[in-house]
Structure 1
Amino acid sequence: MDATTYAVDLAKHVFQVHWVDPASGEIHRKKLSRAKLSEFFAQLQPARIVMEACGGAHHWARRLVAMGHEPELLPAKQVRAFVRGNKDDAADARAIWVAASHEDIRRVPIKSCDQQAIQSLHRIRSHWITTQTATVNMLRGLMYEFGVVLPQGRHAGLRVLAERRAQFNESLPELMVRLVDELQRTLKEIAHNIEVAEGEIAAVQKSSETAKALRQIPGVGVLGATALAAVLGDGKAWRNGREFAASLGLSPGHQGTGGKVRMGGITKRGDPYLRTLLISGAHAVAISKSRTEWFTKILERRPTNVAAVAWANKTARTAWALIRHGRAYDASWKASAPVAA
Structure 2
Amino acid sequence: MNSVTLGIDLGKRWFHVVGCDGGGRVLLREKFSRSQLLQFMAQHQPCLVGIETCCGSQYLARKFQGFGHEVRLLPAQYVKPFVKSQKNDFNDAQAIAEAVRLPTMRFVPLKTEEQMDVQALHRARERVLQQRLALTNQIRGLLLDRGIEIAQGFYALRTTLPALLEDDDSGLTPMLRDLGRMLLDMWNRTEATIDQMNNRITCMSRDSELCRRLQTIPGIGVLLSTAIVSAVGDASAFRRARDLAAWVGLVPQQHTTRGKPRLLCITKRGNGYLRRLFVQGARALWVWKDKHPNDPVQRWLLQLAERRHIHIAICALANKLVRIAWAVMRSGIEFQHRYHI
TM-score range relative to shorter protein: over 0.9
Give 2:325's aligned residue: 319
Partners of 2:245 and 2:24 in 1: how far apart? 43
Structure 1: how far apart are the matches of 2:324 and 2:23? 47
Whole-Å separation in 2 of the counterparts to 1:133 and 1:177: 21
2:203 match: 203
SS in 2 for 1:192: helix
Among the aligned pairs, what percent are the same residue? 35
Alignment of 1:224-303 (within 5 A): 224-288=224-288, 289-290=291-292, 291=295, 292=297, 293-303=299-309
User: Which residue number in structure 2 is paired with residue 71 of structure 1?
Assistant: 71
Q: Which runs of 5+ in 2 are unaligned?
A: none
What are the equivalent positions in structure 2 for 1:57-68 lying under 5 Å apart?
57-68=57-68
The residue matched to 1:257 in structure 2 has which SS?
Answer: coil
Question: Equivalent residue for 2:316?
Answer: 310
Which structure 2 residues correspond to residues 81-160 of structure 1 after superposition, within 5 A?
A: 81-160=81-160
Tell me the CA shift for residue 333 of structure 1: 3.8
Give the 3-state SS of the residue equivalent to 1:250 in structure 2. Answer: coil
CA distance in 1, matches of 2:274, 2:82: 29
Alignment partners' CA distance in 2, 1:250 and 1:168:
54
Q: TM-score, normalised by structure 1?
A: 0.92
Do the aligned residues in 2 keep the contact of 1:169 with 1:177 (CA within 8 Å)?
no
**Counterpart-to-counterpart distance in 2, 1:229 and 1:25:** 40
Superposed displacement of residue 167, structure 1: 4.5
SS at match of 1:256: coil
How much has 1:315 moved relative to structure 2?
Answer: 1.1
In the alignment, is the contact (CA less than 8 A) between 2:304 and 2:313 conserved in 1? yes
State how far apart, in whole Å, the 2-side matches of 1:57 and 1:165 are: 49
1:145-168 superposed Cα distances (whole Å, 9 cap, x missing partner)? 222222222322443323433457
Amino acid paired to 1:253: Q
The alignment partner of 2:263 has SS state of strand
Count of aligned positions: 334
1:331 CA drift (Å): 1.9
Tell me which residue corresponds to 2:45.
Answer: 45
TM-aligned CA deviation for residue 183 of structure 1: 0.3
Q: 1:169 to 1:106 in 2, by over 3 A?
A: farther
Once the two structures are superposed, the pairs formed by residues 152-191 of structure 1 within 5 Å of their partners are 152-167=152-167, 170-191=170-191
Q: Which shifted more, 168-177 or 259-268?
A: 168-177
Cα pair 2:244 2:326 within 8 Å, conserved:
yes
Shift of 1:311: 1.4
Give the TM-score of the pair, scaled to structure 2: 0.92
Aligned partners of 1:18 and 1:28 also within 8 Å: yes
Q: What is the SS of the residue equivalent to 1:97?
A: helix
1:152-203: CA deviations, max 9, x gaps? 2232244332343345764222221111110000000000000000000000
Residue 23 (structure 1) shift = 6.0
Is the contact made by 1:14 and 1:34 (CA closer than 8 Å) also made in structure 2? yes
Q: Which moved more, 1:324-333 or 1:182-191?
A: 324-333
Q: Cα RMSD over matched residues?
A: 1.9
Structure 1 residue runs of 5 or longer lacking an equivalent are 336-341
